[in-house]
Amino acid sequence: MALKSANEYRSSPRRISVYNSLGGEKAAFEPLDPAPVSPRVKMYVCGLTPQDHSHLGHGLNGVRFDLIRRYLLYRRLDVQFVQNVTDVDDKIINKVLTTKQDPLVMTRDFTDEFYRCMDRLHALPIEAITRVTEYGPQIVRFIESLVARGFAYATPEGNVYFDVSKKADYGKLSNQNTSMLYESVRKELDKEKRSPLDFALWKRDESTALSQPSPWGIGRPGWHIECSAMIHEVLGDQIDIHGGGLDLKFPHHENEIAQSEAFSGGKFASVWMHGGLLNIDGQKMSKSLNNFMTLVDGLEHYGAALFRFVVARLHYRSALDLSDKLFRDNLNALLDFHRLLARFPDLDRVAPDTASPQGRAVIEAFEGAMDNDFNSPEALVVLEKFRAQLAQALDSGKETAQQLAPGARLLLELGQVLGLFFDSLESVEEQGLGLIARILGTQPLTRGGVSSLIRDRAEARASKDFSRSDEIRKELAARGVEILDSKAGSTFRFV
Ligand SMILES: [Zn+2]
């Protein structure tokens, strides 16, 4: 795979700096593993609660952490990437109690659908997916240990709670202290809990087959404990990077820190990374606002290649305000890359330009952007400028395609570091035509249809039938397509 050869020319081992949500500062990333070459990096990103079809927010989060993982791999860090699936949860139980579905079948189907979408989005496969249903005894043992150490208590009702008062630094991730938090929850006082801030580690529940026996009776784990217990099982007590969407910062990640650090007595995650949230046309995506789009539908509508490109063009910590206009505005930029790369048909057999001053400068600038807290939009600006230089050199005839091919190969490989340019030009054009037609509410044009209209126009112009050629231009424009004439022939852009 091209990524491997990209690895071979990475420039001086400049340090990556990462914004740590814990403390709110950017700092040099230091792997826990002291190995000087290819140190192991343990990375965990909270995953899906498969109670329904996954939505665009799941895809956004998936692509963002895949992009970060890919760059760490490019930087020769041996990333061990683990993600959980919360297949035991209140929402799942409530749903199957109404629908009478088998919870295991339902959650498996929704999980498989999500990872099929991630595959279409060109995300690297997850090495270890941990499911709550597969870690029942380990989760119980983890809770038992917290009870034994005095950090948790069982109630006569058969529930177990984490005792927040035993953890002096509770609230350090979300910058809140327990007295502030206490003010906000005072009204929810629950007789069973010692403090309203205490959260459930184990819930008594006999309603579905998802429950299991425990020292406290039949029940199931609370939401937060699964991540702490599964990370302990698969990665150990301390990890390098813990990621998730910003909406998980409090209480989920705060509670994970409390549980894991109470359990081990040491530090849990070195770096906490949070991806910005998804808005749709300026509003939070929700079923009640009727702006909810499933990931399957979103990929059908926008196309996987364009979706990934749009995500990469925004910094992972920024909120993504999704709209048809945003995708429409990015379509030409993505097509420009694909069109240029398509002009070099034998790139597989070409080595990237890593030695010329221009090639070195592009690599330096690309890595400089990505080393700075994975600034993919800035890295894409570097690639866009380089693309324009290559296109200009080729169009002007100053250099031949053969001379420019190593540069084009470098462009392709650096794009692949971000997981981009995996689709063919034909497919990106076809998907773009479909998207524009849906946005404008017109009949979709095919690539063949556009080509034949472009040919008709060329013939009309050749026979000086300018009214016919103008008519064709107007017809295409009404359908969001503009013809571009060049020495190499006519092609199109989206208006
Ligand atoms: Zn989690």
pLDDT tens for residues 28-38? 999 999 998 88
Please give the distance, rounded to the nearest whole angstrom, from the Cα atom of residue 234 to the centre of ligand 1: 14
Q: Output the pTM of the full model.
A: 0.95
pLDDT over 70 at 8, yes or no: no
Segment 339-349, tens digit of pLDDT: 999 999 899 99
For residue 483, what are the β-bridge partners? 492
The alpha carbon of 195 is separated from its chain's Cα centroid by a whole number of angstroms, namely 37
How far, in Å, from the CA of 252 to the mean position of ligand 1? 6
The answer to which of 184-193, 286-295, 450-459 has the lowest mean pLDDT is: 184-193
Packing angle of the helix pair 304-312, 324-342 (nearest 10 deg): 100
CA of 399 to the centre of ligand 1 (A): 53
Site of tokens 């202290």: 177
> How many whole angstroms from 336 Cα to the centroid of ligand 1?
39
Q: Cα of 48 to ligand 1 centre, how many Å? A: 9
Give 244 Cα–ligand 1 centroid separation in angstroms.
8
Cα-to-centroid distance, 163 and ligand 1 (Å):
19
Quick one: pLDDT band at residue 413, thresholds 50, 70, 90? very high
Average pLDDT, integer, range 64-75: 97
- Could you count the other beta carbons within 10 Å of the beta carbon of residue 324? 15
**Above 70 in pLDDT, residue 21?**
yes
53 close to 285: Cβ distance less than 8 angstroms: no
Q: How remote is the CA of residue 82 from the centroid of ligand 1, in Å?
A: 11
Distance (Å) from CA 216 to ligand 1 centroid: 24
Tell me 55's DSSP state.
Answer: B
How many whole angstroms from 194 Cα to the centroid of ligand 1? 24
Choosing among 3.40.630.30, 3.10.20.30, 3.40.50.620, 3.40.710.10, the CATH entry for 31-275 is 3.40.50.620
The residue type at 271: V
Rounded to the nearest angstrom, the distance between the alpha carbon of 231 and the centre of ligand 1 is 9
pLDDT tens digits, 196-228: 999 999 999 999 999 999 999 999 999 999 999
Residue 5: pLDDT over 80: no
Going from the Cα of 261 to the center of ligand 1, the distance in angstroms, rounded, reads: 15
pLDDT in tens, 289-332: 778 899 999 999 999 999 999 999 999 999 999 999 999 999 99
Q: How confident is the model at residue 7 (pLDDT cuts 50, 70, 90)?
A: very low
The rounded mean pLDDT for the chain is 93
Q: Is 47 exposed, middle or buried (0-12, 13-18, 19+ CB in 10 A)?
A: buried
Residue 10 has pLDDT above 60, yes or no: no
Ligand 1: distance of its center to the CA of 485 in Å? 53
Closest to 228 measured CA to CA, from 30, 62, 46, 81: 46
Q: How far is the CA of 296 from the centre of ligand 1 (A)?
A: 24
Report CA(143)–ligand 1 centroid distance (Å): 16
> Would you say residue 9 has pLDDT above 80?
no
Q: How far is the CA of 15 from the centre of ligand 1 (A)?
A: 28
pLDDT for the residue numbered 491: 87
Distance 376 CA to ligand 1 centre (A): 25
Return residue ranges of the chain for CATH 3.40.50.620.
31-275
Q: Kindly give, in sequence order, each residue whose CB lies less than 8 Å from that of residue 365, ignoring residues fewer than 6 positions away.
A: 382
pLDDT at 286: 77
CA 278 to ligand 1 centroid distance, Å:
19
pLDDT band for position 27 (50/70/90)?
very high
Please report the pLDDT score of residue 289 as a whole number. Answer: 78
Q: Taking 70 as the threshold, does the pLDDT of residue 132 lie above it?
A: yes
224 CA to centre of ligand 1 in angstroms: 6
Interval between CA 320 and ligand 1 midpoint (Å): 22
Q: What is the C-alpha end-to-end distance of the chain, expressed in Å? A: 35
pLDDT at residue 409 above 80?
yes
CA of 104 to the centre of ligand 1 (A): 20
pLDDT for residue 43 is more than 80: yes
Q: Name which residue leads in pLDDT, 6 or 450.
A: 450
Quick one: average pLDDT of 255-284?
95
Q: What distance in angstroms lies between residue 241's CA and the mean position of ligand 1's atoms?
A: 12
Q: Kindly give the distance from the C-alpha atom of residue 70 to the centroid of ligand 1, in angstroms, as a whole number.
A: 21
Q: How confident is the model at residue 189 (pLDDT cuts 50, 70, 90)?
A: low
User: How much is the pLDDT for 488?
Assistant: 72
Q: Given a cut of 50, is residue 152 above it in pLDDT?
A: yes
Q: Which of 24-28, 177-181, 448-452 has the lowest mean pLDDT?
A: 177-181
Average pLDDT in the 373-385 region? 98
Q: How far is CA 251 from CA 24, 143, 240, 244, 317, in A?
A: 17, 18, 21, 12, 19
Distance from residue 13's CA to the centre of ligand 1 (Å): 32
pLDDT at 37 (0 to 100)? 87
In the structure, what pLDDT confidence band is assigned to residue 179 with cuts at 50, 70 and 90?
confident
d(CA 341, ligand 1 centre) in Å: 40
Q: What is the whole-number distance in angstroms between the Cα of residue 240 and the centre of ligand 1?
A: 15
Residue 228 alpha carbon to ligand 1 centre in Å: 8
What is the CA(63)–ligand 1 centre distance, in A? 17
Higher-scoring residue by pLDDT: 161, 2: 161
Render pLDDT for 221-243 as a digit per residue (tens, 0 to 9): 999 999 999 999 999 999 999 99
Quote the Cα angle for 52-260-251, to 5°.
50
Quote the ligand 1 centre to 259 CA distance (angstroms).
12
Kindly tell me if the per-residue pLDDT of 178 is higher than 90.
Answer: no
Residue 73 has pLDDT above 80, yes or no: yes
Contact 30, 382 (CB under 8 A): no
**Quick one: average pLDDT of 454-459?**
94
